[in-house]
Every structure is written in C-alpha cells, then in structure tokens.
Amino acid sequence: MKIFNPQQIKELDQYTIQEQSISSVDLMERAAHKIVDHITLNYAITQNFTVYCGLGNNGGDGLAVSRLLLKKGYNVTVYVVKYSANTSLDFDENIERLKKITTLRTIISEKHIPPIPNNTVIIDAILGVGINRPLDGLCKVLVDAINTAPNFKIAIDIPTGLFCELENYSTEHTLLNANTTLTFETPKLPYLMPSMAKHIGNWKVLSINLSSHYKHNIATEYEYTTLADIQKINIHRAKFSHKGTFGHAEIIGGAYGKIGAIVLATKACLKAGVGLVTAYTPNCGMQILQTTVPEAMWTGNQPCDFYLEGNYINTSKTIGMGPGLGVHPKTQAFLHLVIKATSTPMVLDADAINILAKNKEWLKDLPKNSILTPHPKEFERLVGSFNNDFEKLEKLKEFTETYNCIIVLKGANTAICSPNGQIYFNSTGNPGMATAGSGDVLTGIITSLLAQKHKPIEAAILGVYIHGFAGDLASTKTGQISLTASDLIKNIGKAYLKIKQVS
C-alpha cells in the first residue's frame, strides 16, 4: 500500500472528484460516514462527544461527523475554532447543514476556551493535512488544554499540529496527543515513526474509495506492506522441484556461550523453506548444532573465541552472517575476508554489523544488494546519530544508496530500504517479539529466502512480513509476554499457510 505525501493526497482527491464525477462535499460526506461507522461500532448511544472543528476541510469533516452522529441520536457538542477569517467551501456547506439541527458554539479566543467535561470523548477536527505552519495563538492554547484533559481523544485524519514531512517539522512544536487516529485511504508517514506514537495512538485506515488509477500510477517514496502486497510474491512450489531448487544457505556465527543464536537462525532458515543449510560455527558449536538441528550440516573448524581467516573455505552458498559472532580483532579480519570472497548478496546481522560499523571502509567490499538487519542501536553505530525520525529515514536512504545495499531497520513497523531509497514499512509483528533471539530468527528467514532465489529486496520484505506474522500467530497462544524466539520458528509454517490460504 502506497503512502502518499500531503501534496499527493490533494491530487488524489482532485483526481477522484473528476474520475467519479463526485462533488468534493459528497466525498467529504463519504469520509464522514466511514468515521461514524467506526464510532457507532465502538460506542454506545449514551456516549457524549465534543467535536472541535477548524475552518478547512478537516473542520468540514468534523461538522459532517457531528451531524451524522446527532442524527443517530448521540449527544454531540460542536465547537468551531475561529482562528482565522478564512473558511473552505465544504466547511461553509457543512456549517449550513449542521445549523439546521443543532446550535453551534464558537471559540473565538484563548480566553474563551470552555472547560472540557470529563464524560465526553473528544473528536479533533481542527487541522488536518492542510497544516502549513506550527500551531500558535488560539490553536496552540486549545490543543494544550485538550492534551491536559484526561478524556479519550479521536483525531480525524491526523492529530492537529502534526506535519507529515521533514520540511516544517520540529520536535518543539505543539501537537495533539490522540488515543486513536482515523485516517483516510492510506497511512501517513508519521504513523510509522516511534517518536510519533504518543501523538497518534492506535490508528486505522478507512477506505473512501479514492481513484485506483491514480493510486496505481503515482510513485511514492514510502510503502506499507500489507497481506495483499505479500500475496503478489510467488511462493508456489512446482511439482518436480527438488531440494536443489531451493538453494543452500550457510549461516555463519556463534561463539562460546552464544551458539544458541546460530541454532535459532539455522532452524528458522529451514522452516522458511531452504533446500539445504549448513551452520558454520566454532568447533564448540558442532555437537550442539548436530543434536538440536539434525536437518542441518555443520562446518567451521574454528576455535571458540574468535575466527581464523586461514580456516575459511569459500563456497557458493548463500551466506547469512553475524548472530553471536563476537567482535574479536581476528573475527573482524575474518568477516572482511568473507565479504571480499563473496560475490552474491548476503545477509549481515548483529556483530557482523557492529564490525562493519567499526570498519566503515570495508562497506565498499559488500556484495551488491546485500541485506543488513540492524536493530536501532546497531543502525546508529552504522550511520551516526540523527535528530528525529524524519532525519533517520534520510540517513537510511543515503546509506543504502551509497553502499548499494538493503537495510532492514528492525522494530515495530520495521523499515526496509532498497538501494534506490524506496522504503517499505512492515505491518506485522508485536511487542512480544522484543525478546532474545528474535532477530536471529529473522536472519535465518531472510537468508533462506535469498537462497531460494527471491530477489534481495523481495527476500527482505517477505522475510520481515513472515517473521512478524509468525509473531502475531504465536502470540495468540502464548500471549505477548511469554513469547520466545522458538515460538516464532514454530509458527513460520502457519504464517506461510495463512498467506497462501487467502490468496
């Protein structure tokens, strides 16, 4: 699913109006109905609402929602926030419609902000994507007052004060803290940023049937991977395929006391469908590997605390390297040898990333289209610090473009950045996955998909989706608190089945 910027949202609106021969006020009505459907599903008729409406189309949405809720019998108090003399045409039309059924109240200055009763749900329709400057004066004071109130808050489209692009953005600006944000057609970029979660709350995309033609044809910098996107990827197994068809992966890593990382990655690699897998660990890992993962082959011939370059035998396998590897100087040299000796894309995780962060001049030796899977701390070691999440995304693009690689920046809504700077946010997964070894499982899955000849960017997107999906399926049995990395592995198969089932 594409993520449009505010300019594209305006164009999409206009395109839809022409294509569907619908007036903009009727499109607003369609949007308002979707909001009201959500509210009626979630709130009893006894619930009171207080709606704050600005003077543009976000305010227009608020007025239309108020009218529809009143008609259904809800108790709704509507305030028009008069911060300027300008109003939009659809706002004006909705004022006329609403006036016929209720009394409108106006807030004209900071001194006239009415107290907020505690039994009401607040609906924020002050400003939407039309925001072009930070909040000040009446809007700022009102948003501060709303933020102070303990009431549940629903924002329409975006919480008032939020900017969707780096331009204009500052962490100093006031913005409304919503508990739920109900947006139209596509998620907005800030919804996928950790620092914005407290402003956006839970968010939901409501489809308002905007032009498919426009959505299909316009390129965006950002996408949000949904099940429908994943189902376009071919995971079918042909009848006469054999284990050679599905590649041979080599998972390199582990050290004394950290062999478990390689056990998890190797198991996950198998469960994700690879034909053959070899675990490459220090000698102390051999028995453990052969006992816990009998399906895997073992190789290594390495001492337990570091890796020796001379013991490495280059093969044509698809390499996933890093879990439990350690950062001993000899291991660092070993990693440099491996990346120089490899010509096909490989997966680098954990200590492999930490070693590259210490030796940035080696990054140019990475095989083209290799996939690095840092968690946020590893990412910072790699690219340096940044001031906010917008800058973080810029650094992400800069890095993948410079080194011709793919980065999988892990976390909630993992961001996958291609070598040409396209970013795909993942939609599966849950906080239960913030547990030891969860990243090792991901390394195994992505290496497996790469070995199965998925294109590197596809392996990254599909791998992250399956990993998160396995986490979601696992959590239905274990709950999030007790979820472990092994539960993820157990649910990889089920995740595949679910993907295929509904396709």
Ligand X SMILES: NC(=O)C1=CN([C@@H]2O[C@H](COP(=O)(O)OP(=O)(O)OC[C@H]3O[C@@H](n4cnc5c(N)ncnc54)[C@H](OP(=O)(O)O)[C@@H]3O)[C@@H](O)[C@H]2O)[C@@H](O)CC1
Residue numbers of the site for ligand X (CB under 6 A)? 9, 12-13, 27-28, 31, 54, 56-61, 83-84, 86, 88, 127-135, 139, 156-157, 184-185, 210
The torsion defined by the Cα of 247, 463, 307 and 303, in degrees rounded to 10, comes to: -80
| The pairing of beta strand 406-409 with beta strand 415-417 | antiparallel
The contact pattern for K ion, residues 47-76, with x = CB under 5 A and - = no contact, is -----------x------------------
Q: Nearer to ligand X by C-beta: 31 or 433?
A: 31
The contact pattern for K ion, residues 350-369, with x = CB under 5 A and - = no contact, is --------------------
Least Å from the CB of residue 178 to K ion: 8
CA distances 225 to 292, 358, 431, Å, are: 34, 32, 18
Closest C-alpha to 9, from 91, 166, 131: 131
Judge whether 131 is annotated as a binding position: yes
Judge whether 412 is annotated as a binding position: yes
Q: Which does residue 124 bind out of ligand ADP, ligand X, K ion, none, counting CB within 5 to 8 angstroms by kind? A: K ion
Closest C-alpha to 451, from 261, 265, 262: 265
Return the residue of 141, 218, 235, 434 that touches ligand ADP, per CB under 6 A: 434
Closest C-alpha to 53, from 72, 67, 34, 37: 67
Q: Nearer to ligand ADP by C-beta: 98 or 279?
A: 279
Letter for the amino acid at 226? Answer: T
Using the 8-state DSSP alphabet, how is residue 114 labeled? P
Strand, helix or coil for residue 254: coil
Q: Which does residue 135 bind out of ligand X, ligand ADP, K ion, none, counting CB within 5 to 8 angstroms by kind? A: ligand X
Q: Which does residue 155 bind out of K ion, ligand X, ligand ADP, none, counting CB within 5 to 8 angstroms by kind? A: K ion
Q: Are 212 and 186 in contact (CB under 8 A)?
A: no
Q: Nearer to ligand X by C-beta: 118 or 132?
A: 132
Judge whether 411 is annotated as a binding position: yes
Contacts (Cβ under 8 Å, ≥6 apart) of 44: none
Least Å from the CB of residue 33 to ligand X: 11
Least Å from the CB of residue 134 to ligand X: 6
Q: Which does residue 129 bind out of K ion, ligand X, ligand ADP, none, counting CB within 5 to 8 angstroms by kind? A: ligand X
Q: Which does residue 440 bind out of K ion, ligand ADP, ligand X, none, counting CB within 5 to 8 angstroms by kind? A: ligand ADP
Which tokens belong to 349?
Answer: 């995780």
- Measured CA to CA, the distance from residue 143 to residue 145 in angstroms comes to 5
> What are the helix (H) ranges across 306-349?
329-341
Least Å from the CB of residue 30 to ligand X: 8
Instruction: State yes or no: residue 124 binds K ion (CB under 5 A).
Output: yes
Using the 8-state DSSP alphabet, how is residue 53 labeled? E
The contact pattern for K ion, residues 174-213, with x = CB under 5 A and - = no contact, is ----------------------------------------
Return the residue of 25, 135, 155, 383 that touches K ion, per CB under 5 A: 155
Q: At what angle do helices 57-72 and 24-42 cross, to 10 degrees?
A: 50
- Measured CA to CA, the distance from residue 254 to residue 164 in angstroms comes to 42
Q: Are 413 and 425 in contact (CB under 8 A)?
A: yes
Q: Are 282 and 256 in contact (CB under 8 A)?
A: yes
Q: Which does residue 429 bind out of ligand X, K ion, ligand ADP, none, counting CB within 5 to 8 angstroms by kind? A: ligand ADP
Strand, helix or coil for residue 413: coil
Q: Are 446 and 471 in contact (CB under 8 A)?
A: no
Judge whether 410 is annotated as a binding position: yes
- Measured CA to CA, the distance from residue 410 to residue 405 in angstroms comes to 16
Contacts (Cβ under 8 Å, ≥6 apart) of 353: 322, 372, 373, 374, 378, 381, 382
Which window, 132-140, 337-345, 383-391, 423-431, contacts ligand ADP (CB under 6 A)?
Answer: 423-431
Instruction: State yes or no: residue 440 binds ligand ADP (CB under 6 A).
Output: yes
Least Å from the CB of residue 304 to ligand X: 58
Instruction: State yes or no: residue 412 binds ligand ADP (CB under 6 A).
Output: yes
Residues that bind ligand ADP (CB under 6 A): 350, 375, 410-412, 414, 429-431, 433-434, 436-440, 442, 467
Indicate the annotated binding residues for (6S)-NADPHX: 57-61, 128-134, 157, 261, 324, 375, 440
